[in-house]
Every structure is written in structure tokens, then in C-alpha cells.
Chains A and B, each alone.
Chain A
């Protein structure tokens, strides 16, 4: 197992304020108690408060929403020929069948694969933190960064549907409406973003800090 330098501020009893970024010293005895920033008065926490709980909650909500997002139509096209309900996968299948497979691939990746991978990645991060895994912490932090970067971009579908809904309103001839799937899909994107936002990547490293402390105490003994 690689040895990481974990001489962190937290281990020195130094916390940063979430509000103004002031580094504060929190006494060892005060560690369990609530304290606030001497400059802006915001509450001080060693790590993001309830990080795992929030991340889990949002992630679970996202997982729940992922099912209707893929099963329910995201776009209702009402034409003279009747109403057509398109789910994401039916759109992908349509594009694939009609030969525009690059576009099908783009839609598939952006709308199905990326949200799924986001959910899976979050699951991985949360589970590893829970299990205090020491496995590949650097890669996991990189994954987390990627998650944060990619997050807003998977709203592509919603963006397209929104544009179409705004543009194609010919009333009697053709109307496009956003289906219930679009809401679910938007919820998935937002919830995964929230989940990622609440996740504190420092938790990945805390396990190594504990190791250090244990080693230090062992050395002291």
C-alpha cells in the first residue's frame, strides 16, 4: 500500500470556514462541539456536514428517477398523424435505424450512458468511503473531479426538448410537448449533481489519516 502524506490541517485541529474560508483552530476538546467562524459567524465543520447522508439520499433519489426517465416518453409529438411518444431509447433506436448512427451514439452516450455512469461512480465513491477502502484514492478523486465537470452537460436532452417545445408549436398541425420522462430525466441530472456536490472528496483520504494517527499512537506507545 502506498504511503500518502496526510499531515492535514484537520489533524492539526485547523478547520476552514465554509462561509468565508477563514482557517480556524478548533480545540481538541471542542472537536465534538459546534463552533463558529470568528470572522463571519458561519458554523464550522471539520468535513462537510452530513456529506455522506446527503450524497446517499440524492443518489438514491436519482436512481429511482432514472427508471422513469428511461421508460417514460420525454417528448410527445402531436401531429396530424397522431401522437408520437418518444422515449430516449426509442429516439436512439430511430436514429440508429435511419443510419445516423453517430448521432445515435452521441444521444446514447449523453443521455443514457453518462447518467448511468455518474450514478455508478457516485455509488462507487460512497461505498468505498463507507467501507473505508484504501483502494486507488487518487483515481477516485480524479473520478470525482470528472463527475463534477461532466455533471451539467448531461442536460443536453432536456435542452433539445426545451428548444423544440419552444419552437414547434403549430397548434393544429404539430405540437411538441415535454413528456413526464423529461421531468424524471432532469431530476436525475439535478440529483446526481446535488449528490456529487454534497460528497466531500476529503473523506476518501480520511482513512489514511486515521492510519497515520494509529501509527503515530502506536509509535508513541
Chain B
């Protein structure tokens, strides 16, 4: 490299700027010396940049680690809608995590979703926390999870209350109706059948929806359905130990003297079913029912509002007649008041009698007798011993409820003139003696009559009757002949006689008329008679006064 061109170029520059510059020997301008600034230690400043970057990076890293919440696994039956890295986990619709992996469980029956939760979600991971997949659902008359149509499913969560923590959960198949923190109480209703109830069906109190059906399950021996209902907070105080629950699902249609009456809860209750409850005693008076209290679910309101049948007395009845028309559930009636029901109908062979007994099992609710006779308290009811009652003539009888349908019911009543009997005992149940029913008795009477009628010799009676009738017929012929002859001979003569009689009567009439000569003659004659009588009286008077005149004759009166 040559130095030659350089001085020339710098020369030109220098001449343009200034001539007083010190120049080096080869024409290159000399740098101007200037005093070095003491203590200028610049390098430190630039290192601030990586330091700041490291600080920020470190802060972010620390924050990320600190914010890193727990990792949990949830087992679902189906992975529908779950997508790793996309499906969120929400608690009260607030994002608290994300599903990071979805895989099939080792036993290939379920889906295991691994989820990364945020830090603050840690305290929700109680053992009884619940997880479910939120999808669009139509249930209980409401549509839920519509938002997920667009956003895709997410995993809902309900925090549990247990103090024990867990990292592994089993997802629910259906979202829970009631979240754990909703104020209110749960009650269990024992029902004979589920009816049209479903999870989410409403619970009504005075037709106000106050809760929901949250679960149902058969009880252990399959006899009842345990329906769990949840009554929301301000209303749960209306549920007292005295409350009655009934199915509000159907339409209650009744025809009475007032006309047709349709009673329903609400349209949705008809469609979806529902439960209604009422508290006969004012709610403030009764003791509030504790959470989880058990009630009986009746079929109708009427049934529910009858006194609760705490005490149930099973009884057995043995009938010797047909029980056709008697059904399980038929009422047991005491003088028109239903005090029980038929629970089973069977039969047994009665060896000594060489016949079958119809075995009817009933149960009666003695408490109904108490509630209806208010002055009879429970202690006194116990004194009403059944065997005493039987001694007094208490009997069971089958009666016809309706002649049209032939439905029978069991009636209990006192029959004073019944044959004496005693309370029996069989299979751990009291056996109440029975007497035949009214209809049965009527039947017997009719039978007896029929039998007697049967003995009547209708044949000979008939024959005799026939002969008699024939004779009668002949007699009638004679009578007719007689009649005919009467007609021919007697009647004309009679007519003649009558005509003559008429004439006679006319004559008589004429004679009797006031202006008839006979009358005048008679009147004249009568006057004559009266005058005669008067002269007789004068004569008798004179004779009275002058009896001697009879002898001497009439004396001349002296003036």
C-alpha cells in the first residue's frame, strides 16, 4: 500500500477548512490533542442493558414459576370436546387453567385429561371438587352452555369443601345442578316411583319454583326411589318437619258439583314433572327440617295433606268369598274415612275346611284416627286395643265401592250381632276376623229364595191352571150365551117396563104439581080436616067444661 495519494487528498481538505492546522511532515493533518477526561469510566453503563434484560427475564421466569399452578388429571368417560392446549378449565366462568394433554387411560376405558391450573386454583382442589365438561345441553326445561357452541366445550369446576386435597379427579357425566356454594339445603324424598321427574325438575312452593331435583337413585333393596331435591336458600326455611311433598307433574282433573276443575302446577311441570311441597302448620311454628331430612313423596296433594302416617299397622284378613274387584291399593275404610290400604292379595289352603282362604293384607294408619278425633290423644289410642275392638264386634268386610265397576274395598266396622270371634295371629301379623259382605249376604238370601222357588211344583200347577182355564173358558161361553139371551129377551122387556115407569112417573109428576087438581083437592081436604079438627077441639073443650052435656045435651047459653 502506498502512502502517496493520501497527502494530496488531505491537502485539499485542509486548504478548504483552515490553514493554521498543524501538519505532519507527510501532509496528513495532525490530530488535535485534548486533555483526557479524568475518571471517565464508561464501560459500566453499557452493561446495564444486559443487566436489565437479565433482570426482566429473571423476573418473568420467576413469575412464571411462581404462577405455575398445580397439574391435575381428570378422568372422563368421553373426551368429546376436549382438546389439548385449547380447552379451558373454568370456575364460575373464570378461566383457571387449561387442558394440556388428553390421552386414553391405561385400562382404555376412560379418557385422562391433564390440566395445568393457575396458582390461585390450588385451594379449590379439595377431594370432593367436581369437574365436568360443559357442552350445549337441553335439560330441565332450560338450555345451558349455548356459549360453547361457538367457543367449544370447556371443563367446568365446582370447588369442594373437603379439607383433603387431591390431584386426581373423576369427571362427572352431567353438570351438577347445584354448585357447592349455593346456599340452601338438600332433602331426600322417598317415592314409590320416579314418575316423570328428572334431574333439574323444579320444586314448587305455592307455585313458586324454589329448588330443583338434583339426583335420584333406587334405594338399596329397590323398594323406593330416593329423590334428592335442593331448596334454595331463603325458601328452605319453609321446609319443616311437618312439610308434605307431592308429585306436581300431572294434571289433576276433577268433576264435581261445581263443574270440571283442572288443577296443575305449571305448564313446565306438566311437561317435565316437578315436586311441590306445602307445610300445613305455619312455617314459623314448625321446627325447620335439617339438611338431608327424609320426606315421603305422595302422588297427589290430597294424599300428601292427609296426616303423615308415621305408625303403620299391618293386618291380615281371610275372606272366604271371591275378592274379584279388590286391587292392591284399594282403600280400607272406617265408616267412610280411609284409614289404610290393601297391600297384598293372596290365598292359602285351609286344610280343615278343605277350601281356600283369600288372604288380604292391609295396613292401617292409626294416626289418622287420632287426627280425626282430636280429643283422642296418642296414649289413649294405644288403649284402644285391637283385640278389645274385635270383642266389641270389629270386623272386616268386603264392600262394593261402585256397582258399575264392581270395585271392592275393605270396610272395618263394628257388627254388634256378629258371631263372636277373636283376633288371630299369623306370620307375625294380626288376623282380623271378617264377616261376609252385604252383597254376599244378599246373594245368600237370594239363593235361599231361589232354592225354595225351585221346590214349587210349577208343572202340576200349570196343568191345573190349564184345566181351570179351560173350565173357565166354558163358563165364559155359557155366560156369553146367557148374555145373548138376556140381550134378546130381557132387554126389550126391560125397556118397555122402563118406558111405562117413565109414564107413571110423568103422571105422578103431573099429579104432584102445585096447580094440579089433585093438589087443590088435597089442600081442600086438608082444610076440611083441620076445620073438622077445630070443631072437634071445640067439642072436646065444651065437653071438658060441660061433661053433663053428654047426657043433658047442649044447654042454651044464657046471656
Q: Tell me the smallest distance from the CB of A39 to a CB of chain B, in Å.
A: 5
Q: For residue B1, which residues in chain A have a CB less than 8 angstroms away from its CB?
A: 5, 7
Binds B, one of A50-58, A105-113, A158-166, A206-214: A50-58
B57 touches A82 (CB 8 A): no
Within 8 A of B (CB), among A3-52: 5, 7, 12, 14-15, 22-27, 30, 33-39, 41, 44, 49-50
A64 touches B53 (CB 8 A): yes
Indicate if B60 sits at the interface (CB-CB under 8 A).
yes
B151 touches A39 (CB 8 A): no
Indicate if A68 sits at the interface (CB-CB under 8 A).
yes
Given A12-B3, A22-B13: A81 in contact with B150 (beta carbons within 8 A): yes
Q: Tell me the smallest distance from the CB of A26 to a CB of chain B, in Å.
A: 5
Interface centre among B13, B33, B53, B85 (most CB of A within 10 A): B53
Number of interface residues, chain A, beta carbon within 8 A: 43
B36 touches A61 (CB 8 A): no
B49 touches A14 (CB 8 A): no
Q: Tell me the smallest distance from the CB of B323 to a CB of chain A, in Å.
A: 68
Which residue on A lies nearest to B148, using beta carbons?
A81
Q: For residue A37, which residues in chain B have a CB less than 8 angstroms away from its CB?
A: 31-32
Q: For residue A67, which residues in chain B have a CB less than 8 angstroms away from its CB?
A: 57, 61
Q: Tell me the smallest distance from the CB of A190 to a CB of chain B, in Å.
A: 11
Within 8 A of A (CB), among B119-156: 150-152, 154
- What are the interface flags for B11-30 relative to A under an 8 Å C-beta threshold, 1 for contact and 0 otherwise? 00100010001101010111
Q: For residue A149, which residues in chain B have a CB less than 8 angstroms away from its CB?
A: none
Indicate if B50 sits at the interface (CB-CB under 8 A).
yes
Binds A, one of B39-47, B221-229, B360-368, B507-515: B39-47
Q: For residue A90, which residues in chain B have a CB less than 8 angstroms away from its CB?
A: 85
A15 touches B31 (CB 8 A): yes
Q: Tell me the smallest distance from the CB of A146 to a CB of chain B, in Å.
A: 24
B57 touches A50 (CB 8 A): no
Q: For residue A7, which residues in chain B have a CB less than 8 angstroms away from its CB?
A: 1
Kindly identify which residue among A5, A33, A72 contacts B33, using a CB–CB cutoff of 8 Å. A33
B30 touches A38 (CB 8 A): yes
A35 touches B86 (CB 8 A): no
Task: Give the B-binding residues of A (Cβ under 8 A).
Answer: 5, 7, 12, 14-15, 22-27, 30, 33-39, 41, 44, 49-50, 53-54, 57-58, 60-62, 64-65, 67-68, 72, 80-82, 84, 90, 180, 187, 191
A-B contact pairs, 13 of them (CB 8 A): A14-B6, A34-B36, A35-B32, A39-B29, A57-B46, A57-B49, A60-B50, A61-B52, A65-B57, A84-B86, A180-B60, A187-B53, A191-B53
Task: Give the A-binding residues of B (Cβ under 8 A).
Answer: 1, 3, 6, 9-10, 13, 17, 21-22, 24, 26, 28-37, 42-43, 46-47, 49-50, 52-54, 56-57, 60-61, 85-86, 88, 150-152, 154
